[in-house]
Amino acid sequence: MGEANATGGAPPAAAPAVRVLSVSRVAPADRAAAADGDDPAMVVKLSFFDTPWVVLPPIQRVFLYSLPGGGDDADGHEFTDAVATLKTSLAATLAVYLPLAGKLAYDAGTGDVVVDCAAADDLGVAFVEAEADADDETTFDVRHLADDEAHDIPAFLALVPDLPTKVLPAPVMSVQATRLLRRGGGGLALGLSVHHAVADGQAVWRFMAAWVSAAREGSPVTKSLPAPHFGREVIHVPNGDESARHMLKMIAPNLPVASTMADYDFSQRFRLARRTFYLAGDDIRALKRRIAAAEEDDDGSNNNSRNKKPVSTFVALAAVGWTSFVRSKGLVAGDDTYLVFLADLRARLDPPVGDGYLGNCIKGVLATADAGDLLVDGGARGLLAASRAIQAAVAEMEAAPLAGTERWLEKMMGLPFTRLCNVAASPRFRVYEASDFGFGRPERVELVSMNHDGEMVLVGGRRDGEVQMSVSLDPARMDEFKAHVFASSASAPPPEDEVEGK
């Protein structure tokens, strides 16, 4: 699952028009700057944690900016200047994040998939410069695209670059900068596609912070942002190489054709609705208090003593999303339901892996519950049941971080997707602070590669203490989902007769 639920498939015939102005290649500025002793002319063999993602399309995000001057001056200088900044700083950042400039390739001699960074004349990232249809001002207005209530999925897809991944060798990353025009002002959309087999969410956001640092401070490496390390030898997993090759044979038996997902109907994303919620710090605290109060009531009524570990922000919001999903899908008592999310293992391995590791170091975590337990009373007791199930799954993972990892993919593929909710990313990802290149924070940051009915993405919001929750769902279920989210937190609008002036 993770942040890269697949996004293949052709766009609809009526997809919004974006005109490509140019495609160039941004190469690393100085290969000698490769970090932390890593050989700049090297081949990086994927680890056991990387291989499951070889068959999936990339992580795709869009960052929407309102440029200070509107972006549509007669000569387009503001957009041009922004693109020049992005390119120059990207080149400097790729010098220390070299695997992102390489190619994912298959080594037939060893049976491994590797990141090939050895070909000096082929290193780099495709950078697309584009312009939205000037006659389609409503579709590509930044304010329209950043609307909370409904996402324009075809427009979002037009603003992220293609990254062909089905056949190896395949590029690891591509970038697209699109000029957005409208009367009275405009903006810029920055689209990013990254192959999940090379980097997880933590790694991608560290890269974004370094790219921003290069744009604003002149260097991707600072005292607070050290250079990354990407040698896979830091991942100590028993029989890791053998397990990785076994997994590759299972999920991608026809290498160098990497994708075995060609027959999956990725076009369902056009049939799903998306909405973004912002939960303020007060909302989240109120939600945690509701869960804590339900815990106290439950302990009192059952006269037992529990180890009451306070719920984290992630657990509380995942519980809201899971219970909202169960309610909106019409599940009933007796229906098993599932929540899956990814845990960062960097600090949990022995020896631990540093925060700056550029690769995948994540494990799938699965929480299970009876739908009836999540629906009880329609409120706090259901949230408590969901929170307990999530906490139990986290505790099991923490007790044995590597247990079951080699069978995780098989287990996931055997679950009923109609009763599966998955949560991607983390409220710890301060995505708005991490993406200000000097022309202001984005109006919206969204994961475009959402495809599953019941997928949620949690990231830090635009304000202090706020969390942004985006959801992809069957359109017929969205109103019920939204009502339960609002009812579960203090973000619910007041009744009409309590509104001032009524």
**What's the predicted TM-score (pTM) here?**
0.90
Contact (CB, 8 A) for 193 and 66? no
Q: What gap in Å lies between CA 326 and CA 247, rounded to an integer?
A: 32
CA dihedral 11, 204, 39, 49 (to 10 degrees): -80
Partner residues linked to 191 by β-bridges = 62, 176
d(CA 340, CA 451): 15
Q: CA distances (Å), 57 to each of 53, 321, 353, 457, in order?
A: 8, 25, 26, 17
**What domains appear along the chain, each with residue ranges and CATH number?**
18-262 (3.30.559.10), 267-302+309-489 (3.30.559.10)
CA terminus-to-terminus distance, the chain: 47
Q: Prior bond to 351 cis, omega within 30? A: yes
Q: How far apart are CA 95 and CA 30, in angstroms?
A: 5
Q: pLDDT tens string for the chain (502 positions)?
A: 444 333 333 344 455 689 999 999 999 997 544 444 445 558 999 999 999 999 888 999 999 999 876 555 555 688 999 999 999 999 999 999 999 999 999 999 999 999 999 877 789 999 999 999 766 666 788 888 887 777 888 899 999 999 999 899 999 999 999 999 765 567 999 999 999 999 999 999 999 999 999 999 999 999 999 999 999 989 988 888 888 888 888 888 899 998 765 444 555 556 789 999 999 999 999 999 999 999 988 865 554 545 578 899 999 999 999 999 999 999 999 999 999 999 999 999 999 999 999 999 999 999 999 999 999 877 899 999 999 999 999 999 999 999 988 788 778 888 998 999 999 999 999 999 999 999 999 999 999 998 789 999 999 999 999 999 999 999 999 999 999 999 887 544 433 333 333 3
Gap between the Cα atoms of 73 and 80, Å rounded: 11
Distance CA 178, CA 426 (A): 27
Closest of 19, 4, 96, 1 to residue 341, by C-alpha: 1
